């Protein structure tokens, strides 16, 4: 077992979806030139975060998988022999859309080197995060997959808060969990709650790393956005300030790399699968699970 050089692309987004795709592509190439073999982009990187309002016109930016984004990125995947996790607004069928992560691998013989896809399972509906208007909940379940770089699992943003998703993905053999993310502060709340919100977000994901004995890689965007997408303007007002802070945690929950809150960055770390083995030997949480006693976990609430 050898280490996998892994990169997270923390980027800002502009109104132009074409410009965002080209920027993402250039950053993936930059990471590859620094030796990364496994590269993850932030959630819905092709656009500013449009779910700040409900607007039927925005369904026009969805794309098929395979589609334009996977075609553009697969050329890089083949040239540089890297595995890429790309979070996209998927148009599956007329009127049916998902928030989907496509995993592109140079060894895959499928169209655009698509090794597999994961459709976001947990869909939020909160002020300025109106995702239920756009996205159908995933129907593929939680998935791990073997790639040329590592055995990985991908979840997406709101999935971060649910230990069940991390557990099931790890139980399928994933040694690295990726969380492409778009999360930020309501500007009016930042002073009072901003630090606590970020720390809760990081803590829950570090807990996934510890509980499952895996690496956790969470990649966010940065910048203040109104949700402008091409020629469709977002509403005037406070918008969202995306808090960046992307990080990589090891199976002991230690932060290996962490980005700033207000700058673009490429986080790179060498992830050694042997550390998964050693950590699980010393903290044998999987060994001691009482699987005979967990039946009630599938209940909404135990009255």
103 DSSP β-pair partners: 85, 116
Task: Give the mean pLDDT of 129-135.
Answer: 98
Residue 269 DSSP class? E
pLDDT at 70: 98
104-112 mean pLDDT: 97
Entry field: residues in the chain: 303
Adjacent-strand bridge partners of 88: 100
Tell which phi-psi region holds residue 230, choosing left (phi > 0), alpha (psi between -120 and 50) or beta: left
| 1 or 169, greater pLDDT | 169
Confidence bin at 236 (pLDDT 50/70/90): confident
* pLDDT of 133 strictly over 90: yes
List 13, 23, 43, 51, catalytic entry: 43
Other CB atoms within 10 A of residue 233 CB: 11
- Contact call for residues 76 and 82 (beta carbons, < 8 A): yes
> Interior CA angle at 128 toward 126 and 133, to 5°?
70
From 157, 217, 225, 241, active-site residue: 157
Average pLDDT of the chain to the nearest whole number: 97
- At residue 63, the pLDDT reads 98
Strand 240-243 and strand 184-185: the pairing is: antiparallel
| pLDDT value of position 238 | 86
pLDDT reading at 202 higher than 90: yes
Is 51 an annotated catalytic residue? no
pLDDT of residue 1 exceeding 80:
no
Distance CA 7, CA 34 (A): 9
Under DSSP, the state recorded for 99 is E
Helix (H) or strand (E) holding 212: helix 187-212
> Could you tell me the maximum CA-CA distance found in the chain, to the nearest angstrom?
56
- Six-digit token pair at 284? 């044998």
Residue 162 has pLDDT above 90, yes or no: yes
- Whole-angstrom distance, CA of residue 45 vs CA of residue 165: 22
Asked whether the predicted pLDDT for residue 61 surpasses 90, the reply is yes
43 is catalytic: yes
pTM of the model: 0.97
Residue 56: the pLDDT is 98
What is the DSSP secondary structure assignment for residue 232, as one 8-state letter? B
Segment among 34-38, 54-58, 123-127, 232-236 with least mean pLDDT: 232-236
User: Residue holding tokens 């950053």?
Assistant: 27
Catalytic residue among 23, 120, 143, 217: 120
């Amino acid at each position: 077992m050898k280490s996998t050089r892994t990169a997270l692309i923390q980027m800002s987004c502009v109104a132009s979806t074409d410009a965002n795709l080209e920027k993402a592509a250039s950053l993936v190439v930059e990471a590859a030139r620094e030796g990364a073999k496994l590269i993850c982009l932030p959630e819905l990187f092709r656009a500013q975060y449009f779910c700040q309002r409900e607007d039927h016109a925005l369904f026009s930016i969805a794309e098929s998988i395979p589609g334009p984004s996977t075609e553009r990125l697969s050329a890089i995947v083949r040239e540089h022999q890297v595995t890429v996790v790309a979070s996209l607004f998927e148009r599956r069928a007329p009127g049916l859309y998902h928030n989907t992560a496509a995993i592109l691998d140079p060894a895959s013989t499928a169209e655009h080197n698509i090794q597999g896809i994961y459709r976001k399972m947990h869909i939020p509906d909160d002020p300025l995060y109106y995702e239920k208007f756009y996205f159908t909940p995933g129907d593929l379940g939680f998935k791990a997959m073997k790639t040329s770089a590592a055995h990985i699992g991908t979840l997406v943003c709101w999935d971060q808060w649910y230990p069940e998703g991390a557990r099931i993905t790890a139980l399928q053999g994933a040694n690295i969990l990726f969380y492409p993310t778009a999360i930020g502060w309501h500007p009016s709340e930042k002073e009072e709650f901003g630090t606590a919100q970020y720390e809760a977000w990081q803590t829950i994901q570090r807990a996934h790393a510890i509980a499952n004995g895996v690496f956790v890689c969470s990649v966010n965007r940065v910048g203040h956005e109104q949700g402008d997408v091409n020629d469709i303007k977002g509403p005037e007002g406070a918008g969202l300030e995306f808090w960046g802070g992307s990080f990589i945690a090891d199976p002991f929950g230690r932060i290996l790399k962490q980005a700033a809150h207000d700058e673009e960055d490429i986080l790179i770390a060498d992830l050694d699968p042997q550390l998964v083995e050693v950590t699980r030997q010393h903290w044998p949480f999987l060994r001691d699970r009482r699987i005979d006693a967990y039946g009630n976990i599938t209940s909404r609430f135990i009255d």
